[in-house]
Structure 1
Amino acid sequence: MLDLRRLRLLSEFARRGSIAATAAALGYTPSAVSQQLAALERETSTALLDRTARSAELTDAGRRLALRAEDILTMVEAAEAELSAEADTPTGRVVMTAFPTAAVAFAPAIARSLAEHPQLTFALRQSSPGTGLAQVQSGEADIALVDDWTGSLARQAPSSLKLFHLRRDPLVLVLPPYHPMSDPAEPVDLRALRDEPWMATPPGEPSRQAFDRLLEGAGGAPPVAWEFEGLHTLLTLVARGIGIAALPALALVGGDSGVAVRELPGRPQSREVYAVARTASVRRPSVAVTLRAIYAAAQEPLNDADRHPV
């Protein structure tokens, strides 16, 4: 009989492409992953990996079994979810990953809601950009909060994952409180701000790409005077009068409140925020109640982020 843990390792290897990446994703040592995959080869009496001194890749048989492993693991999880769905009380542990601004914005409301379920253990971890879907697929996390600046995520997500739309998060103009354009009576004119000391995240980050598109639509992006990692860092620097920025509205939650916030003209660049879970797991009471808590948290007014920019 095939060992489910080893099938999960094979499936993860197929996604990650290396033993080291598989080990890092699942919390094993590379040696342990290699040994378990070798054991799976003995179980199947089939060469699943083509190994060299420096690398390993799936054989044709390994690729076929990895595809079957995805189906098998999904079916097992679906069966477990059906059985646990009969339970009245959510129990067990739910692990969620979230991009940093969502973690800060939604965590308090989620925690308040889940406190009503004392037999449920909840763990929230911040994720790096672009890793949330893979963490849910691999089983590292049960739920991920992810953002999408492209508008294509819902169409491109694999069928093994279910996406729940939470909210749209637009860019807003963030200014020092004494800036002339912080006055609500003053129309927002991005062209008039071209020579201001703009601050943004480094090139390549999704929020920076949205920022560049925003200014390109206003006559071309000028050189960015300051680049900093971390949206909350940028917010703090604007409050100190170092420069101005265009940030996602969620970044204002839990950050420095000493800024002026203005709506951008037209339909500004924005991201869509989703909760993602494995399709086979959404009926588990623990996952279902957590998803409901997340959705409710995302609909609540979020202090500074939902104060009405002018």
Structure 2
Amino acid sequence: METRRLEMLAELSRLGSMRAVAETLGTTTSTVSQQIAALAQETGTPLIEPDGRRVRLTPAGRRLAEHATAIVAAVEAARLDVGPDAEPNGSVRVAGFATAVRTSLLPVVASLAVSHPRVRVLVREHEPAEVRALLNADEADLGLVYDYNLAPAEDDPVLWSTSLWSSRWGLGVPDDYGPPAAATGSSATGSSADVFARHRTHAWIGNSRNTADERVIAVLASIAGFRARITHQADSLDLVQDLIAAGLGVGLLPVSQPTRPGVRLLPLDSPPVELRAYAVARHGRRDWPPLALVAGLLLTAPGPDSPASR
């Protein structure tokens, strides 16, 4: 049953004449008559009967008018609840990588608990390819993804994207691979390719759930004139540090994260290695008030390199 027809029946119950319904809804009396007749055909029972020169609702018509009043009110409430000017309300399913969830999303969740308690954020930790798959399958509303300046992600025409922050990365090596950082200084390390070249014979550690790290390693190794041997893969940055400290290889690490004993971080300056974080959502979803609110707050949330996140 069409909402418009139900609205006409509800108004007929309230106003008592088709002419009054037509005037209220800005249509013609014949249109009101036709739409109520169509509604009667849909329900399989008469909804109105003659009452002198006017009409009145049958018992079935009165009962359906009660339902119609409730349905029309519910539809209007739903429209106001989800429209672009509505007060944010509902659950926003966010899928994203751990660093963005930890440093940017969790402060937003804490803020929402005070400013917009009717907005709930449901969190799932995933790597970028997994996030995009969840968005495309409508299993997430908002995604937090990343790429690197040396390994940019391809544009997805289905998704809207906005930049959040960037973070510098270096090369994590065991502490006994050469002189300590204090003795060399960042200026003594040379270009990023030079840093890579000095570790050409070592095993390298990649990401087990995303290829972006390996692409950056491949680019800089190629500039340095060798092909890196990816021997180990780990998703957890803590585990990457454990592998490095155990002497099992070298790998990319964020400059903002403290290194554990046994791990030294070499700067990669020329070219720099930068992880770039983005918020992504399907086109057409970005104006949904709860999602727009969360995405807007993420734009002002700290990144891992900001003082507020340390």
Question: Hey, what does 1:85 align to over in structure 2?
Answer: 84
Question: Hey, what does 2:290 align to over in structure 1?
Answer: 286
Instruction: Say which of 143, 163, 188 aligns to 1:165.
Output: 163
**Does 2:200 match 1:200?**
no
Contact 2:167–2:274 (8 Å) recurs in 1: yes
Structure 1 position 98, deviation (Å): 0.7
Contact 2:218–2:228 (8 Å) recurs in 1: no
Instruction: Say which of 173, 176, 180 aligns to 1:175.
Output: 173
Q: Secondary structure at the match of 2:134?
A: helix
After superposition, the Cα gap between the structure-2 partners of 1:221 and 1:202, relative to the gap in structure 1 and judged at 3 Å, is farther
Question: Hey, what does 1:31 align to over in structure 2?
Answer: none
After superposition, the Cα gap between the structure-2 partners of 1:227 and 1:163, relative to the gap in structure 1 and judged at 3 Å, is same
**What is the CA–CA distance in structure 1 between the aligned matches of 2:209 and 2:133, rounded to whole Å?**
23
Structure 1 position 240, deviation (Å): 4.3
**Match runs of 1:219-298 below 5 Å:** 219-224=225-230, 226-232=231-237, 233-249=239-255, 252=257, 256=260, 259-298=263-302
**What is the CA–CA distance in structure 2 between the aligned matches of 1:136 and 1:203, rounded to whole Å?**
17
Structure 1 position 93, deviation (Å): 0.3
Q: Secondary structure at the match of 1:282?
A: coil
**What is the CA–CA distance in structure 2 between the aligned matches of 1:285 and 1:114, rounded to whole Å?**
13
Structure 1 position 146, deviation (Å): 1.5
**What is the CA–CA distance in structure 2 between the aligned matches of 1:227 and 1:267, rounded to whole Å?**
25
Structure 1 position 222, deviation (Å): 4.3
Q: Which runs of 4+ in 1 moved over 6 A?
A: none
After superposition, the Cα gap between the structure-2 partners of 1:302 and 1:237, relative to the gap in structure 1 and judged at 3 Å, is farther
Residue 103 of structure 1 aligns with an amino acid whose one-letter code is V
Residue 259 of structure 1 aligns with an amino acid whose one-letter code is V
Contact 1:231–1:247 (8 Å) recurs in 2: no
Structure 1 position 258, deviation (Å): 6.3
Structure 1 position 288, deviation (Å): 1.6
Q: Secondary structure at the match of 2:108?
A: helix
Residue 244 of structure 2 aligns with an amino acid whose one-letter code is V
**What is the CA–CA distance in structure 2 between the aligned matches of 1:119 and 1:204, rounded to whole Å?**
34
Question: Hey, what does 1:151 align to over in structure 2?
Answer: 152
- CA RMSD, aligned part only? 3.5
After superposition, the Cα gap between the structure-2 partners of 1:184 and 1:197, relative to the gap in structure 1 and judged at 3 Å, is farther
Structure 1 position 125, deviation (Å): 0.4
Structure 1 position 256, deviation (Å): 4.8
Contact 1:171–1:264 (8 Å) recurs in 2: yes
Report % sequence identity. 24
Q: State the TM-score, normalized to the length of structure 1.
A: 0.59
Structure 1 unaligned regions, length at least 5: 3-78
Q: Which has the larger radius of gyration?
A: 2
Q: Secondary structure at the match of 1:130?
A: helix
Q: State the TM-score, normalized to the length of structure 2.
A: 0.59
Tell me the matched-pair count.
Answer: 223
